């Protein structure tokens, strides 16, 4: 049972003020996003229409803390097919941004590992200008699977290394100061 007193009517505005979330209010819940979704095909509990409907109703905490927010594979099928041009893939990105801020403030807990991987990835780009594949993947494995789990990937890592496909050290670009300035500019909301 949804209690209207628990709803946050401002949530849809919060999302539409986030870059990528602008078009959420255009959604008329036709389900076109969900019928074509490849993730829904393998997991019926993943339902982008329900995420959008809950967001529009103002079920803020439920949407932000839901693991399924992190299951979108960013394949853009729903984005392409949406008759209302909601740009769903980017709306999901906008909701993820809000969820991450809430998690940082200690108000919710994100259980899905996608957020951790994204942050390790972006941190490596911030310091090197390029993504540090061996370092980021290794750190992610250690944090999510422990040493035992990470060691399981050793044969593949060795093969990639032998083929000259994996660099042990990060590649650093010359313009890391410019990268830092881009981060600073976009952080000023």
CB nearer other proteins, residue 66 or residue 90 = 90
Look up tokens 């893939």; give the residue: 89
Contact yes or no for 120/139 (Cβ under 8 A): yes
Look up tokens 């209302």; give the residue: 84
Provide the token pair at 122: 């972006």
CB nearer other proteins, residue 7 or residue 84 = 84
Instruction: Name the burial class of residue 102, with classes exposed (0-12), middle (13-18) and buried (19+) by CB atoms within 10 angstroms of its CB.
Output: middle
CB nearer other proteins, residue 6 or residue 159 = 159
Q: Supply the minimum distance, in Å, between the C-beta of residue 51 and other proteins.
A: 15
CB nearer other proteins, residue 7 or residue 128 = 128
CB nearer other proteins, residue 56 or residue 86 = 86
Instruction: Name the burial class of residue 89, with classes exposed (0-12), middle (13-18) and buried (19+) by CB atoms within 10 angstroms of its CB.
Output: buried
Q: Supply the minimum distance, in Å, between the C-beta of residue 125 and other proteins.
A: 5
Residue numbers at the binding site for other proteins (CB under 8 A):
19-20, 38-39, 42-43, 70-71, 73-77, 79-80, 89-90, 92-94, 96-97, 100, 112-118, 121-122, 125, 129-131, 133, 137, 140, 156, 159-160, 163-167, 171, 173-175, 178-179, 181-186, 188
Provide the token pair at 128: 């090197």
Q: Supply the minimum distance, in Å, between the C-beta of residue 10 and other proteins.
A: 20
Contacts of 114 (CB under 8 A, 6+ apart): 70
CA dihedral 28, 5, 16, 114 (to 10 degrees): -90
**What is residue 171's DSSP assignment?**
P
Q: Supply the minimum distance, in Å, between the C-beta of residue 102 and other proteins.
A: 12
Q: Supply the minimum distance, in Å, between the C-beta of residue 48 and other proteins.
A: 13
């Amino acid at each position: 049972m949804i209690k209207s007193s628990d709803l946050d009517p401002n949530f849809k505005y919060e999302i539409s003020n986030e870059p990528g979330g602008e078009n959420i209010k255009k959604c008329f819940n036709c389900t076109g996003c969900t019928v074509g979704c490849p993730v829904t095909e393998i997991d019926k509990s993943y339902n982008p229409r329900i995420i959008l409907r809950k967001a529009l109703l103002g079920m803020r905490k439920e949407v932000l803390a839901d693991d399924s927010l992190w299951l979108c594979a960013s394949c853009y099928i729903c984005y392409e097919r949406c008759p209302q041009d909601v740009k769903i893939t980017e709306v999901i990105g906008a909701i993820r941004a809000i969820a991450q801020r809430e998690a940082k403030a200690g108000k919710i807990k994100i259980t899905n590992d996608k957020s951790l991987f994204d942050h390790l990835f972006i941190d490596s780009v911030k310091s090197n200008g390029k993504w540090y594949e061996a370092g980021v993947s290794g750190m992610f494995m250690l944090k999510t699977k422990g040493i035992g789990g990470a060691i399981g990937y050793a044969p593949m890592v060795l093969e990639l290394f032998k083929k000259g496909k994996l660099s042990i050290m990060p590649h650093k670009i010359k313009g890391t100061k410019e990268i830092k300035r881009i981060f600073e500019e976009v952080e000023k909301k």
